[in-house]
């Protein structure tokens, strides 16, 4: 990537990664703005969401929000290289509280100030409120500062005029249209394996990082009535759980494993990412990366799932990709 990272989340250098190493979002911004000198460099900055996501690895194992033991857990970051720790139970946190802030603030007038972050405990991108949902406290974020090239994650799209779009920044060619309907994960894989278009038969389901690379975090359904993607692409409109005109979630080929199974796959939301909190709201934001079950086992998810009532769709859309070379 051409990027240099801080190696440890132990920002106060007390030998432990814990709650005391975290800061509010504004405190992190002030730290960088006032000039951060570290390891002989003074050009450290807060990463973009695409820069931060470059560190994620899907050999990790998803953690339950209720977990109180780190036994058999594997983080979604290389903890042989980076000094990582789960949330600080002694400070009243959950083990899952490992949300790392980025420069990207969700462009939506439907929610309070929401910061996109990568959670290396559960392997997801979500939008996190800069303030706690109850009371007047600011949310405490983990962070790693970065330096180096400033064009990582900047797309260079070309409309090839044949229903495909090339991104010379990543060396990937994309279908301009999506699948037009939702599929379970197995059928999404089959759809890709049997697809021929524009003279190519090597189309495939993108992995999670490839799919996230084409998110445009300056766009959202609420902000400009658009999917969170460059308008060079065509995105099918849907009606979401709240009855709003919206845009789909898209499958990746990446399994999002827990400590007990590999029955979920990662998707990226190019439309609102809803939760049912006494009514459906855009709780995670367009541009989130989460996971859905790979198949429909008959479970009723009509009212959402988990502590935030997350929408579960199972039948997600597909945008195929191939390598240019």
Mean pLDDT of the 311-320 span:
98
Distance of CA 13 to the CA centre of its chain: 29
CA-to-CA separations, 209 to 56, 87, 107, in angstroms, rounded = 8, 25, 21
Instruction: Provide, for the chain, the percentages of residues in helix, strand and coil under a 3-state DSSP scheme, each rounded to the nearest 5.
Output: 10, 25, 60
Element (H, E) at 53: helix 49-53
Q: Tens of pLDDT along 157-195? A: 999 999 999 999 999 999 999 999 999 999 999 999 999
User: What percentage of residues in the chain have a pLDDT greater than 70?
Assistant: 100
Residue 135 has pLDDT above 80, yes or no: no
Report the pLDDT value the prediction gives residue 136, as an integer from 0 to 100: 78
pTM above 0.75, yes or no: yes
Backbone angles phi, psi at 26, to 5 degrees: -65, -35
Quickly tell me which residue has 């990463």 as its tokens: 47
Domain boundaries, the chain: 1-154, 155-325
Q: State yes or no: pLDDT of 313 exceeds 80.
A: yes
- Is 133's pLDDT higher than 80? no
Residue 197 has pLDDT above 80, yes or no: yes
Handedness of CA 107, 111, 114, 116 (dihedral sign): negative
Give the mean pLDDT of 103-109: 95
How far apart, in Å, are the Cα atoms of 3 and each of 33, 52, 131? 19, 10, 30
The CA-atom distances, in angstroms, between 115 and each of 3, 139, 197, 313 are 22, 10, 38, 24
Query: Which of 214, 218, 209 minimizes the C-alpha distance to 235?
Result: 214
Given this model, what pLDDT does residue 6 score?
A: 98
Euclidean distance between CA atoms 205 and 278, whole angstroms: 35
pLDDT of residue 14: 97
Per-residue CA distances from 312 to 1, 169, 302 (Å):
33, 33, 8
pLDDT of the residue at 132: 82
The confidence band for 285, taking pLDDT boundaries of 50, 70 and 90, is: very high
Average pLDDT, stretch 81-106?
A: 97
In the prediction, which pLDDT does 298 show? 96
Residue 134 above 90 pLDDT? no
pLDDT of residue 239: 98
Q: How confident is the model at residue 275 (pLDDT cuts 50, 70, 90)?
A: very high
Q: Rounded mean pLDDT of 216-238?
A: 97
Q: Judge contact between 63 and 72, C-beta under 8 A.
A: no
């Amino acid at each position: 990537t051409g990027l240099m990272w801080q190696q440890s989340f132990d920002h106060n250098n007390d030998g432990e990664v814990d709650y005391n190493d975290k800061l509010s979002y504004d405190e992190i911004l002030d730290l960088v703005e006032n000039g951060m000198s570290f390891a002989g460099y003074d050009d450290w900055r807060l990463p973009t969401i695409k820069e931060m996501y470059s560190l994620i690895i899907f050999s990790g194992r998803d953690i339950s929000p209720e977990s109180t033991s780190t036994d058999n857990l594997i983080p979604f970051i290389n903890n042989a290289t980076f000094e990582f720790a789960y949330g600080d139970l002694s400070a009243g946190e959950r083990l899952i509280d490992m949300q790392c802030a980025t420069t990207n603030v969700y462009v939506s007038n439907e929610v309070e100030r929401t910061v996109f972050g990568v959670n290396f405990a559960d392997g997801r991108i979500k939008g996190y409120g800069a303030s706690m949902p109850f009371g007047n406290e600011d949310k405490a974020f983990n962070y790693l500062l970065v330096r180096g090239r400033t064009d990582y994650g900047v797309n260079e799209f070309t409309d090839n005029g044949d229903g495909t779009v090339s991104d010379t920044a990543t060396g990937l060619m994309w279908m301009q249209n999506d699948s037009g309907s939702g599929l379970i994960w197995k059928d999404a894989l089959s759809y890709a394996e049997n697809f021929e278009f524009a003279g190519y038969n090597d189309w495939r389901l993108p992995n999670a990082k490839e799919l996230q690379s084409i998110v445009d975090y300056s766009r959202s359904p609420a902000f400009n009535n658009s999917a969170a993607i460059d308008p060079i692409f065509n995105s099918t409109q849907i009606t979401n759980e709240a009855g709003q005109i919206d845009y789909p979630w898209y499958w990746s080929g990446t399994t999002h494993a827990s400590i007990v199974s590999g029955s979920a796959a990662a998707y990226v939301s190019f439309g609102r990412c809803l939760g049912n909190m006494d009514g459906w709201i855009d709780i995670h934001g367009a541009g989130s990366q989460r996971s859905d079950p790979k198949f429909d086992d008959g479970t009723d998810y009509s009212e959402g799932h988990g502590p935030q009532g997350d929408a579960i769709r199972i039948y997600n859309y597909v945008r195929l990709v191939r390598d240019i070379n």
